[in-house]
Amino acid sequence: MDVAIADLHSVTSAEEKRSLELGGHVGFNSLPCQLVSKLAARGFGFNILCVGETGIGKSTLVNTLFGRPFENEEAGHYEDRVRLRSQTHELQENAVRLRLTVVHTVGFGDQINNDYKPILDYLDAQFEKYLEEELKIRRSLADYDDTRIHACLYFIAPNGHSLKALDLVTMKKLENKVNIIPVVAKADVVSKSDLKNLKKNIMNELLSYGVQIYQFPTEDEDVAEINSSMNSCLPFAVVGSTEDVKVGNRMVKGRLYPWGAVQVENEDHCDLVKLREMLLRVNTEDLREQTHSRHYELYRRCKLEEMGFKDTGPDSQSFSLQETYEAKRKEFFRELQHKEESMRQMFVNKVKETEAELKEKEKELHERFEQLKRVHHDEKKHLEEKRRELEEEMNAFNRRKVAAETLMGQALQGCSQQPLKKDKDKKNKSLLWVSAGLLSLCRKLCVGLPIFIYLFFKEKTKKMYKRLVIV
């Protein structure tokens, strides 16, 4: 029975896989034409990233590749950091429309502390935008403006004998995020022999450090031969120019020197034609496909694995998106509750610490208030004693003053009742006796008093004596 079922299954499979030839024309051989018409009506997008030092000729090369000058702001050599500047252009050649986006790295390689992180962040940001569009419930990838970088032209300075450390590190970091095509810029500044040795040293260093650059595909028989020959020409030695120079009787794009002219579209002078051929005519779609199937898929897989998604379970069972979502949701809520509890506990501890600090401050303020209160009480008591002593001194002074005035009045009254003597000597003696008595009385009364009171009474006595003498 099992054998019969197996034979039947094999016969069914054979019938499903057999090929048939049609007896007449059906018409589905026009499917490629339909696809071409649809894609041509929709248009194509191609994004290029130019990485290199300022002034190495990135903008000039892009202008030369597409045969027209694009408006581009010149960058200086004094940028404090690396930043990326993007420009989008709508191009049309015959009936094909191309949305070209060129991204320049401004300030790369100019300063000592330059790094590649802004470039990596930009590439990841474009992948993230595409992934967000894919994960939407209502997505429209057909009309989506794809900003993922399809080709990275890495410009290598012609001076030196090989790659710089920054070039090696940057290309190593970019190899899993973008298709790298190395080019030797301004190749007309070195001789052909030196340029050949430089290209050889560059490829040897890339191979020794394991840097994976974009290799033109050789699987397709139609382009296998040309791509194989172009792979041996890497890195391309290019010269860019948008100026027309006269060579013989014709005008060509090139650079004019005292010793002659460099024609940028002459393959004996530089590899610009080869770069344009490989980049725009032969392998454009492969670059777009590699970006999506290799670099984006790697980013997408790593991102979904970080989020907890997987293809199969531990027991090799089918993967359930709903179960994974619920598990991640529960895990997220557990983490959220844990963080909330931690924050609550931290808040409670902070409140307790603040209350303890406030109580300590309050205790210190209370002690300070009691201390100031005691000091105030002592000062008040001391001032009361001073005031009482002063009042006693004032009362004593007033009593002595009254007594002195009384004695002086009695003395003056007694002097006025005595008979006048005609003898001038007796009169002077009596006046001297009165003055002496008054001075003696003043000394007795002013004992214990301040010196200024004594001087006051002394001055009064002198004036009184003078009046008596005059009389």
**Does some domain include residue 24?**
no
pLDDT, position 319? 60
**Mean pLDDT within 194-216:** 91
What are phi and psi for residue 135, nearest 5 degrees?
-85, 0
Share of the chain above pLDDT 70, in %: 78
Residue-wise pLDDT tens digits, 332-347: 888 889 999 999 999 9
Domain identity same for 293 and 361:
no
Closest CA to 42 of 91, 96, 100: 96
Give the range with max mean pLDDT: 298-302, 324-328, 412-416, 438-442. Answer: 298-302
Kindly tell me if the per-residue pLDDT of 201 is higher than 80.
yes
pLDDT, position 1? 41
**Does some domain include residue 370?**
yes
Indicate the angle between helix axes 451-470 and 424-445, nearest 10 degrees: 160
**Mean pLDDT within 220-225:** 85
Domain identity same for 444 and 409:
no
This prediction's pTM: 0.65
Q: How confident is the model at residue 208 (pLDDT cuts 50, 70, 90)?
A: very high
Alpha carbons within 13 angstroms on the beta-carbon side of residue 73 total 10
**Mean pLDDT within 360-373:** 92
Domain identity same for 209 and 171:
yes
Domain identity same for 84 and 147:
yes
Element (H, E) at 45: strand 44-51
Domain identity same for 169 and 305:
yes
pLDDT, position 54? 85
Q: Which domain holds residue 115?
A: 34-311
**Does some domain include residue 5?**
no
Average confidence score pLDDT of the chain: 81
Between the alpha carbon of residue 91 and those of residues 35, 46, 66, 70, 299, the distances in Å are 21, 11, 9, 11, 30
Kindly tell me if the per-residue pLDDT of 385 is higher than 50.
yes
Domain identity same for 112 and 132:
yes
**Does some domain include residue 7?**
no
Kindly tell me if the per-residue pLDDT of 433 is higher than 80.
no
Comparison of pLDDT for 377 and 142, the residue scoring more: 377
pLDDT, position 460? 64
Tokens linked to 420: 């006048």
pLDDT, position 437? 62
Kindly tell me if the per-residue pLDDT of 251 is higher than 60.
yes
Tokens linked to 210: 């394991």
Closest CA to 67 of 98, 95, 21, 112: 98
Domain identity same for 115 and 257:
yes
Domain identity same for 374 and 397:
yes
Q: How confident is the model at residue 320 (pLDDT cuts 50, 70, 90)?
A: low
Closest CA to 404 of 464, 335, 324: 464
**Mean pLDDT within 19-42:** 78
Domain identity same for 360 and 396:
yes
Domain identity same for 378 and 253:
no
| β-pair type (250-257, 244-247) | antiparallel
- Total structural domains within the chain: 3
Cα torsion 273, 279, 284, 286: sign = positive
DSSP structure class, residue 397: H
Residue-wise pLDDT tens digits, 116-163: 889 999 999 999 999 988 888 888 877 788 899 999 999 998 887 888
**Does some domain include residue 422?**
yes
Domain identity same for 52 and 197:
yes
Domain identity same for 367 and 288:
no
Report the first-to-last Cα separation within the chain, whole angstroms: 175
Closest CA to 115 of 150, 148, 87, 80: 80
